[in-house]
Structure 1
Amino acid sequence: MEMHNPAVVNVRDGVAARLERLPLTRYQKLIFTVIATAWLFDSMDLGIMTFVLGSIKAEFGLSSAQAGMLASSSFLGMLIGAAIAGMLADRFGRKPVFQVSMLFWGVGSLLCGFAPSVGWLMVFRILLGFGMGMEFPIGLSIVSEIVPAKNRGRYLAVLEGFWPIGFIAAGIATYFLLPMIGWRGIFIALAVPAVFVFVVRRYVPESPRWLESAGRVVEADSVVASIEASVKKCLRGRDLPPVAAVSSAIVSAVPRAARFVQLWTDGYARRTVMTWSLWFFALLGYYGLTTWLGALLQSAGYEIAKSVFYTIIISLAGIPGFMFAAWLLEAWGRKPTCALALLGSAAFAYLYGQAAATHAPLIQLVGTGLCMQFFFFGMWSVLYAYTPELYPTRIRATGAGFASSIGRLGSLLGPSIVGMVLPHTGQSGVFTLGAISFVIAAAVVVILGVETKGRPLEALSQ
């Protein structure tokens, strides 16, 4: 085997070309399924607050502002976790940090079930959020670096589609289990899936693209050889396609301390401004509204069971929403799909708010809610497909992590702002505020965004 200088690797002879030429088989799909399953469990833990916030608020006698602070607490953990995990994953590798993240959210969920006071519940939600914040950018990096460019956008969008599935699963679990085991029992039950970390450890390889960018060329070659053997086995021994040049770019291992600075140099500053603004305003609007959906329905006069049921029904539209976005990402492109999803979210968030504020017929409330969630989850699919494509391998997790972290700042502020604004403006004002946030995010993408559809990651790093 030809040896290379560990600091500089020619991509023409390296990992990217070998991975990109591989057909998509059940082996890569297995890796994707393992990551997506962990993502599903994570999403259930995050989404559960939408369905139990009303019960917690009633048990502790919380005001709207206090309930908003509780709902926001996990996002504080996510803000910290996403920023730290991205840098750790670019320094130590994707796989070990991904496994640690699962342990954090598992322990955090377990402790939430035993919280003696609302103060401790907030502390444990921060711990849980820290683990969730760690997991998201790393999962994105692993999938984007394993799946070939021609399939990458669709699979990243489908990965995010496990969020609405997890959200709906959390709602269904709450609907049936809340009367029997209460919100504490639900948090304890959601800690159990953290043992899935052992499945990740067994089946998910370290990203060979990351190994190569870190100068660990021999290990990268070994991992790619293993992937090639597994793919060939799935092809029942048929020869693999020949290796074609992906790019003549030079991938250099950069100093570890310089990773954050790299987000603002070499032409990446424009992309960083765009992604940070996009994530902040999109998540400010999204979490400001969805975290309160169940509680807002209760304040409109619906009992707890019915509010949970209607929230689940509304959330079902997220499934065709992310499927449509996954198709449109490859058929139309990242930028226009992102703008469409954000503007659609804005329009139907505003209409839903008007329906809720005027006590419109239930069919109108549910109808506008379905359309709102359709575009919400389409938006999520684009965010997660688009972001990791904008940075080179050496800083991909750092870039995705800080974008997610800035987004969690919006997540942190959103529910709290709603809690403070709701008594003064009512539901109409709350949803109008969310709509404005989505419009700002769409404008940022249109003005500053670049198109990445169908291009190898190495070409996008130019």
Structure 2
Amino acid sequence: MTAFNEPVAPGGHHDPAPPDPEPPMTPAQRNAFLGSFGGWAVDGFTLATFGLVLAPTLTDLLPRTGVEPTTANVGFYGQLGGAVFLLGWGCSFLWGPIADRFGRKPAMIGSILLFSLFTALAGLSTNVWQWMAFRFLCAVGIGGEWAMAGTVVAEAVPERLRVKLGGILHSANYIGQLATAVIYLAFGQLLGWRGLFLLGLVPALMVLFIRRNTEEPARWQAKSAQRQRQSLFAPMRAILSGEYRRRTIGNLLLLVVCVIGLWATATYVPTAVTDMAKRAGWEPSSVTMLAGASAALSAIFTIIGCLCTPRLVDRLGRKGALALLFVLMMVGIIGLYAIAYPLGSITLVFAVLPILGFGGANFAVFTIWLPEQYPTSIRATAFAFTTTISRWFAAAGTFVLGFAIHAAGSLSLPLAATALAFVLGLLLLPLVPETRDSVLPD
């Protein structure tokens, strides 16, 4: 006997009830994703600016500081500036406790306003030390945006879309970097390095969208009673004690490896290409276009890598995907700095850049992985702590690298040696739990 509400097909057979359709994203969820995507994109725009115009900036400012702008000096002060930037980025761990205590939205807005202002001021610098000071303060804002955007998306979007949108979100940073490269290609000669930095005020417009359209994730709002009882730095103590200590240290060390690779390679691609083109006798306008094209190609393949990351982490697991991307980074670094650069082969550089660019999506794994490892009450703090304090460790490494570049008088051997960091990264993977097939914890 059939129940009155079960459809019966001709012949007496039951038709299976159609599955309930999954509800679409709500306007609030879409706006949370779009606001986070936009904030992370303008972060990438700013980040790329410092690397893309590093050579012309230092070539102009070093003589004003009493230093000859040789290739070795540009490399040394560039790496010193990178270390200063990383020190500022490390200070941005404060955005995590702020977001866990007062909300994801105000922390996101504050970080964007800070890096927008000091990027523009960097364009008004009159000497290297002033430029580095502005770069430090800019980094305090930039460093918080990844943690804020990644936390908001993980908490606000439907669970069925969380991993996919996490990969798409991280591509935003490289879309911002690609936009910088395109602008530099089209208007680099007109804007100059100062004009490009002054465009840093544009990201502040993103704040208007976030203020009007982004809501606090319901997961965070549900913890209001717990937030009111805890001190600002209670989440910091939590992630460094008990069950979370091992994974926090593991994530921190893995991100140190990622950052060393980023600053030692991708940041120096335009500088290396500029140096090679000058040695080959290219015209200044062509050198500018070539540097912009190298940055654009690297960014395009990192975007592709980010979009592929959700599938990689589902197929290989979080650890397996990160291991694969680490291997690609090693191959790209060696190919670029141990082979192409010494040979002076710009063609070979552009052949290797897709590998290096795709490997650079290793950061996207953490956008998906980190939120899965911590509950809502400490998630932003854990995300910010591991992605920012790692910059302090990397700052020491990049300073040593800058000294090595200065001593060697070349970018080649010191930067090629950074491939060893990714070997260490593979050995560190057992410190962190695999979270494939898990849902976001409350």
Q: Tell me if both proteins adopt one fold, taking TM over 0.5 as the criterion.
A: yes
- Alignment check: 8 A CA contact 2:317 2:436 kept: yes
Match of 2:346 among 362, 368, 373: 362
Post-superposition shift, 1:381? 0.9
Q: Secondary structure at the match of 1:300?
A: helix
Amino acid at match of 1:76: L
Amino acid at match of 1:385: I
Structure 2 distance, partners of 1:108, 1:261, is 31
Amino acid at match of 2:177: F
- Extract unaligned runs of 5+ from structure 1: 1-20, 218-251
Match of 2:154 among 129, 144, 151: 144
- Alignment check: 8 A CA contact 2:81 2:132 kept: yes
Post-superposition shift, 1:73? 2.7
Aligned equivalent of 2:134: 124
User: 1:33-72 residue pairs with structure 2 within 5 A?
Assistant: 33-61=34-62, 62=69, 63=73, 64-72=75-83
Structure 1 distance, partners of 2:84, 2:187, is 24
Q: Kindly tell me: are residues 90 and 52 of structure 1, through their superposed partners in 2, closer, same or farther at Cα, counting changes over 3 Å?
A: same
Residues 1:353 and 2:329 aligned together: no
Aligned equivalent of 1:249: none
Q: Secondary structure at the match of 2:84?
A: helix
Q: Secondary structure at the match of 2:417?
A: helix
Amino acid at match of 1:73: V
Amino acid at match of 1:25: M
Moved more, 383-392 or 402-411: 402-411
- Extract unaligned runs of 5+ from structure 2: 1-20, 63-68
Residues 1:159 and 2:138 aligned together: no
- Alignment check: 8 A CA contact 2:25 2:157 kept: no
Match of 2:192 among 179, 182, 193: 182
Aligned equivalent of 2:25: 25
Post-superposition shift, 1:257? 3.9
Aligned equivalent of 2:305: 321
Query: TM-score normalized by structure 2?
Result: 0.85
Residues 1:396 and 2:372 aligned together: no
- Alignment check: 8 A CA contact 1:285 1:414 kept: no
Aligned equivalent of 1:84: 94
Q: Secondary structure at the match of 1:116?
A: coil
Structure 2 distance, partners of 1:189, 1:132, is 15
Aligned equivalent of 1:4: none
Structure 1 distance, partners of 2:56, 2:401, is 18
Residues 1:456 and 2:439 aligned together: yes
Structure 1 distance, partners of 2:136, 2:316, is 38
Q: Secondary structure at the match of 2:243?
A: coil
- Alignment check: 8 A CA contact 1:24 1:147 kept: no
Q: Which has the larger radius of gyration?
A: 2
Aligned equivalent of 1:274: 250
Residues 1:381 and 2:391 aligned together: no
User: 1:302-313 residue pairs with structure 2 within 5 A?
Assistant: 302=278, 303=282, 304-305=287-288, 306-313=290-297
Residues 1:99 and 2:104 aligned together: no
Post-superposition shift, 1:410? 4.3
Residue deviations 1:319-364 (CA, integer Å, cap 9, x gap):
2211121222233321211111112211221122222343164332
Post-superposition shift, 1:129? 0.9
Structure 2 distance, partners of 1:381, 1:257, is 27
- Alignment check: 8 A CA contact 2:61 2:126 kept: no
Structure 1 distance, partners of 2:231, 2:198, is 42
Post-superposition shift, 1:365? 2.0
Residue deviations 1:214-239 (CA, integer Å, cap 9, x gap):
3279xxxxxxxxxxxxxxxxxxxxxx
Q: Kindly tell me: are residues 164 and 117 of structure 1, through their superposed partners in 2, closer, same or farther at Cα, counting changes over 3 Å?
A: same
Aligned equivalent of 1:430: 414
Moved more, 201-210 or 346-355: 346-355
Query: TM-score normalized by structure 1?
Result: 0.81
Post-superposition shift, 1:52? 0.3
RMSD: 2.3
Q: Kindly tell me: are residues 257 and 352 of structure 1, through their superposed partners in 2, closer, same or farther at Cα, counting changes over 3 Å?
A: closer
User: 1:149-228 residue pairs with structure 2 within 5 A?
Assistant: 149-215=159-225
Amino acid at match of 1:33: L
Amino acid at match of 1:46: L
